[in-house]
Amino acid sequence: MYKIYRGMLLSLILVTALASPAPAALFRAAYLYTLSDFNGAIPYNWVNLAVDRRGEETYVADPAGRSVRVFNDSGMEVYRFGDNGDFRNITAVAVADSGEIFVLSRSNASYAVTRCDYRGEPKARLAMKGLPPEYATDFVPDTICWHGDHLYLVDRNTMKVALTDREGSFDSGYELGTILGFSKKQISESGMVGFSVDNEGDLLFTVPVFFSAYLVTPGHQVRSFGMRGSTPGKFNIVSGIASDERGNIYVADTLRCVVMIFDRDFSFQAEFGFRGLEPGNLIAPMELVVNHDRVYVAQSRARGVSVYRVFQTQPSATSTKGG
């Protein structure tokens, strides 16, 4: 009898739990500060961003200033390098788990990647080895990032991604336009803007002309989301994209001047920023990176890099969902 009673009780608890799911927590964002030096906020325009999660540092590659600046977790500059002309036309920066820094320089149809130590001292210029023909020509990376044991070289115009080791030896590649089924004309007329790699090794990127964001797994499976529009959660001109440790995805919209948050199932959760000149507002956000609970957003009109803390609250609190 006791076993029957216990079974009935457990069934009742299970049915009750299924009938009354716990309300989901809501996302909120709080503006913290703008990356600064001792003279105040640095008036960056559309710079490239990278983070060193172990060192809790943020790296900013500034093509206009031809330098890389390093900021601590309080948003203050602690170091800079490259402003002596070592790297010429700096385009992007990436930080490996070992602390090694990779600097991408690009000029017209050529590029170079320099491996540096943790202080930015150049140690070697990578000699790309083993590149297949489709990456030996018509491939000029304009951004880079590091994940796992690989450096990701990304040519957003041709939608190609090459993975190499720290010495520049080719490992594998993604022809994303082909994977998505795009024609050559679609690839040449579209291209992608935002790019990052999540914790699972999936590639995240945006194609603004199709009002879409994509996720491509290492096995080349494709998922996408996005809908054209100007209301919360809709895409107008999407740009930067990144994810956090929980799989939530952040997408910047340059025209709407917001950063949207989607969960790992691509369900819209909230957005923040909004066009304006007050602290915490955004003007034409472009690239973004996520480091734990902080989101770093590069924007235009000398607005610099704004930093937000994203957290979750219970539904009884005031919600930011839908703006």
Tell me whether residue 83 is exposed, middle or buried, using C-beta atoms within 10 angstroms of its C-beta: 0 to 12, 13 to 18, 19 or more.
middle
Q: Which amino acid is at 272?
A: F
- The tens-digit pLDDT sequence of the chain (323 residues) is 444 444 444 444 343 334 455 567 899 999 999 999 999 999 999 999 999 988 789 999 999 989 999 999 999 999 999 988 888 899 999 999 999 999 999 987 899 999 999 999 999 999 999 999 999 888 999 999 999 999 999 999 999 999 999 999 999 999 999 999 999 899 988 879 999 999 999 999 999 999 999 999 999 999 999 999 999 999 999 999 999 999 999 999 999 999 999 999 999 999 999 999 999 999 999 999 999 999 999 999 999 999 999 999 887 655 454 44
Buried/exposed code over 163-197 (b: 16+ C-beta within 10 A; e: otherwise)? bbebebebeebbbbbeebebeeebbeebbbbbbbb
First to last CA, the chain: 55
Residue with tokens 């000149």: 277
Q: What is the rounded CA–CA span in Å between residue 223 and residue 113? A: 31
Question: pTM for this one?
Answer: 0.89
Q: What is the rounded CA–CA span in Å between residue 78 and residue 290? A: 20
User: Dihedral (C-alpha) 285, 290, 293, 296: value to the nearest 10 degrees?
Assistant: -40
pLDDT of residue 21: 53
pLDDT of residue 138: 85
pLDDT of residue 322: 42
pLDDT of residue 1: 43
CB distance 249 to 266 below 8 Å: yes
> What letter would DSSP give residue 244?
-
- Both tokens of residue 102? 């990779």
Q: What is the rounded CA–CA span in Å between residue 59 and residue 77? A: 10
